[in-house]
Amino acid sequence: DVKVTQSSRYLVKRTGEKVFLECVQDMDHENMFWYRQDPGLGLRLIYFSYDVKMKEKGDIPEGYSVSREKKERFSLILESASTNQTSMYLCASKENTEAFFGQGTRLTVV
Amino acid sequence: DQQVKQNSPSLSVQEGRISILNCDYTNSMFDYFLWYKKYPAEGPTFLISISSIKDKNEDGRFTVFLNKSAKHLSLHIVPSQPGDSAVYFCAASDVSNQFYFGTGTSLTVIP
């Protein structure tokens, strides 16, 4: 069974902190994605990666960076967390036509 | 600019009736469309998909219709059940390997 695992379900961080959100998939997929979901805005793509050490900016990359050192792991980094980064963060991996999502991380920046 | 649009943020339907969720897109290069269902505090789960070479795909109570000329797709759920209450996202993909998501429609099925 397909599995995408995000390291935390809920996180509370302070403004200015460096935040790491981890995502691991066990399907050997090449493509991995980070989205954020906000009310009324749907899922917005932050970054995606189509191979190890490869990354592409999505629609809203500002304030974020990513790391893909191994195929199964895709990390989202908030260099200096701000309150407008409070959101639900969703990781996905994809092969061919279907994307599989993790359970989401609800991040609150105070 | 939003390439995939769901213009109804919410929908309420009586149990047993049909739910129709709509989605419009602007990019004629999209060749694959999907619907995802999301419960609060969970990640989206895949529901049903359709390739651009088809105009209908059915899976149990769920049917997706695609009208390429109108750049419109819809998800029909019949009969609707209270457990169908969730947010539904429409998504489209092209050769770039990305998914483009709509803003979601919150469906409430009233018992």
Rounded to the nearest 5 degrees, what angle is found at the Cα of B107, between the Cα atoms of B55 and A102? Answer: 85
Higher pLDDT residue, B41 or A28?
Answer: A28
State how far the alpha carbon of B83 is from the alpha carbons of A104, B10, B37, B59, in Å. 20, 16, 11, 17
Stronger pLDDT, A53 or B88, i.e. the higher one? B88
Q: If you average pLDDT over residues A73-92, what whole number do you get? A: 96
pLDDT of residue A96: 76
Task: List B residues 44-103 in contact with A (Cβ-Cβ < 8 A).
Answer: 44-46, 49, 51, 89, 91, 93, 97-99, 101-103
By C-alpha distance, which of B80, B82, B79 is closest to B111? Answer: B82
What pLDDT score was predicted for residue B26? 95
Listed as own residue / partner, the contacts of B36-39 with beta carbons closer than 8 Å and 24 or more positions apart are B36/A101, B36/B88, B36/B89, B36/B91, B36/B101, B37/B86, B37/B87, B37/B88, B37/B89, B38/B86, B38/B87, B38/B88, B38/B89, B38/B104, B39/B86, B39/B87
As a whole number of angstroms, the distance between CA B28 and CA A57 comes to: 23
Report residue A1's pLDDT band, with 50, 70 and 90 as the boundaries: low
User: In whole numbers, what is the pLDDT of chain B averaged over residues?
Assistant: 94
Q: Is the peptide bond before B79 cis (omega within 30 degrees of 0)?
A: yes
- The answer to whether B93 contacts A100, with C-beta atoms less than 8 Å apart, is no
Is residue B94 scored above 90 in pLDDT?
A: no
Q: Do A99 and B43 touch (CB under 8 A)?
A: no
**What is the average per-residue pLDDT within B28-56?**
92
- Do A85 and A14 touch, CB atoms closer than 8 A? no
Q: Token pair 């602007």 is at which residue?
A: B26
Judge: B44–A41 Cβ closer than 8 Å, yes or no: no
**pLDDT tens digits along B66-75:** 999 999 999 9
Minimal-distance CA residue of chain A relative to B9: A40
- What is the average per-residue pLDDT within B8-36? 95
Would you mind telling me the total number of residues written for chain B in this entry? 111
**Mean pLDDT of the region A7-25:** 96
Q: What is the DSSP string of A4-56?
A: EEES-SEEEE-TT--EEE-EEESS--SEEEEEEEETTTEEEEEEEEEETTEEE
Residues of B in contact with A43 (CB under 8 A): 44, 89, 101, 104
- Contact A42/B42, CB-based, under 8 Å? no
pLDDT computed for residue B95 by the predictor: 79
Chain B contact set for A3 (CB, 8 A): none
CA-nearest residue of chain B to A95?
B97
Under the banding of pLDDT at 50, 70 and 90, the label for residue A24 is: very high
Q: Does A31 touch chain B (CB under 8 A)?
A: yes
Q: In chain A, which residue's Cα lies nearest the Cα of B4?
A: A42
Q: Is the Cβ pair B41, A31 closer than 8 Å?
A: no
Average pLDDT over residues A49-73: 94
List the single residue in B46, B89, B93 with the smallest CB-CB distance to A43. B89
pLDDT-derived band at B96, boundaries 50, 70, 90: confident
- Closest C-alpha among A37, A106, A46, A34 to residue B87: A37
Read off the pLDDT of each residue in A69-97 and give the average, rounded to a whole number.
Answer: 94
Q: How confident is the model at residue B42 (pLDDT cuts 50, 70, 90)?
A: confident
What pLDDT shows up at residue A2?
66
